[in-house]
Amino acid sequence: MKIKDIKVIVASPGRNFVTVKIITDEGLYGIGDATVNGREKAVVSYLVDHVIPCLIGRDPMQIEDIWQYLYKGAYWRRGPITMAAISGIDIALWDIKAKAANMPLYQLLGGSSRERIMIYQHVGGLDINEVVEGVVRLKERGLVAIRAQVSIPGLPPIYGTGPSTDQSAGGMIQARPVEEVWSTHKYMPLVPKLFEKLRDTVGWDLHLLHDVHHRLTPIEAARLGKDLEPFRLFWLEDPVPAELQEGFRLIRQHTTQPIALGEIFNTIWDCQQLIAEQLIDYIRVTSVHAGGVTGIKRIFDFASIYHVRSACHGPMDVSPVAMGANLHVDRAIPNFGIQEYSGYLEETHAMFPHAFAQSGGYLTTGEAIGHGVDIDEKIAAKYPYEAAYLPVARAEDGTMWSW
């Protein structure tokens, strides 16, 4: 079998997606996701100008060799654009291999370790009462794990702490990034109050999660972790920017609050120390950003030695294609933790017909061969690329902040 053609399809059914379609000379094809939110076209150029010409004529069955060829062969290693391009190709190649084997992808990865995959979804609100109401509503729909975020009183709603989380980002996504205002000292005492009220209302069975979105320092994160301990959160996500891996030691010295990290990581090298020193509990790499099925499987296998569990990033900008690939890995690995699933707009569901399905707080992969997600190119043609950026953040004095 040989790779005959590779198409890159860019479409915006509500969000921009970069989809790779690898077509073989035997008629089999595979689909991959190569989307980097807000930097989509950089990946398109990387693929079209530098990757695809080198892959035509190669054997699509040699997935590991093609991965290494693109990783080592470029000389310039790692980085979000390179790794998203590798991811898109890798996910499509695994799809082809599973189709050639006439199996659902999870079977090729070792078979099924679980029947269903626990997910979490997001609730945001302008004040604590609004968030509590939202959490109660999702719980009634059968969710067993919910991420809760609240706006800071006196400040406009901010991405990731207010209603402007993924599924309701609405006005927050613009052709140029909106600039938002952040205040650490107003945020810190508010979050424990939110989770106290949530525990009083929904009890202790529900898993509650919170995303800090990289905005604190290690000692601030340690303080927040200690303050949250009585409410037994499933995790505290991205408390601190993670370039400085050893910074997480400080958090660990002070709190037993479980920590989740890794949605912007591309390789095992971004989290090698965090995992080997057991500085985190959940690793949030996702197939589209961390080297495809090959990349995340390698990271999760490494993490399993250190009691670190998987938690694939799965917001709306991770397309249903990467979601499908994630779910097959989630199903197969021994150290699955949880899967983020923000859900998708109707247009997105229609453009990517998929075998995975939600039932209450869980997703199932379905038994379709391959990863079970396709692209409808006629629908895709109706939604051309649109410039769209998530907001950026500044402190109240104007200092640029992590968002």
Q: Is position 270 an interface residue for ligand GCO (rule: CB under 6 A)?
A: no
Q: Are 87 and 95 in contact (CB under 8 A)?
A: no
Tell me which of 33, 211, 220, 281 binds ligand GCO, using CB under 6 A.
Answer: 211
CB-CB neighbours of 83 under 10 Å: 27
Q: Is position 286 an interface residue for ligand GCO (rule: CB under 6 A)?
A: no
Catalytic residue among 29, 46, 71, 159: 159
Min dist CB 166 to Mg ion, Å, is 9
Q: Is position 37 an interface residue for ligand GCO (rule: CB under 6 A)?
A: yes
**Pairing label, strands 17-24, 3-11:** antiparallel
Q: Which residues of 358-386 are buried (b: 16+ CB within 10 A; e: fewer)?
A: beebbbbbbebbbbbbbbeeebbeebeee
Site for ligand GCO in 159-198 (CB under 6 A): 160, 166
Give SS3 for 329. Answer: helix
Min dist CB 65 to ligand GCO, Å, is 31
Q: Is position 391 an interface residue for ligand GCO (rule: CB under 6 A)?
A: no
The binder of 37, among ligand GCO, Mg ion, none, by C-beta within 5 to 8 A per type, is: ligand GCO
The CA-to-CA distance between both ends of the chain, in Å, stands at 45
Contact mark string toward Mg ion, 152..191, x via CB under 5 A: ----------------------------------------
Tell me which of 33, 95, 227, 317 binds ligand GCO, using CB under 6 A.
Answer: 317
Tell me which of 95, 211, 270, 281 binds Mg ion, using CB under 5 A.
Answer: 211
The smaller minimum CB distance to Mg ion, of residues 92 and 209, is found at 209
The binder of 214, among Mg ion, ligand GCO, none, by C-beta within 5 to 8 A per type, is: none
Point out which residues pair with 259 in neighbouring strands: 236
Task: Report the alpha-carbon distance of residue 27 to residue 59 in Å, rounded.
Answer: 14
Q: Is position 340 an interface residue for ligand GCO (rule: CB under 6 A)?
A: yes
Min dist CB 184 to ligand GCO, Å, is 18
The smaller minimum CB distance to ligand GCO, of residues 38 and 192, is found at 38
Identify which range of 194-202, 203-211, 240-248, 330-338 contacts Mg ion by CB under 5 A: 203-211
Return the closest-CA partner of residue 169 out of 16, 289, 21.
16
Q: Backbone phi, then psi, for 184, in 5-degree steps? A: -65, -45
The length of the chain is 403
Min dist CB 239 to Mg ion, Å, is 11
User: Residue 369 is encoded by which pair of tokens?
Assistant: 């061969």
Q: What is the dihedral of CA 400, 316, 60, 300, to 10 degrees?
A: 70
Nearest 5°: CA angle at 333, between 329 and 335?
125
CB-CB neighbours of 25 under 10 Å: 12
- Is 214 among the residues known to form the active site? no
User: Residue 111 is encoded by which pair of tokens?
Assistant: 């078979």
- Is 46 among the residues known to form the active site? no
Q: Is position 330 an interface residue for Mg ion (rule: CB under 5 A)?
A: no
Task: Report the alpha-carbon distance of residue 74 to residue 291 in Å, rounded.
Answer: 14
Catalytic residue among 213, 214, 289, 313: 213
Catalytic site residues?
Answer: 159, 213
Binding stretches for ligand GCO (CB under 6 A): 37, 160, 166, 211, 213, 263, 313, 315, 317, 340, 390
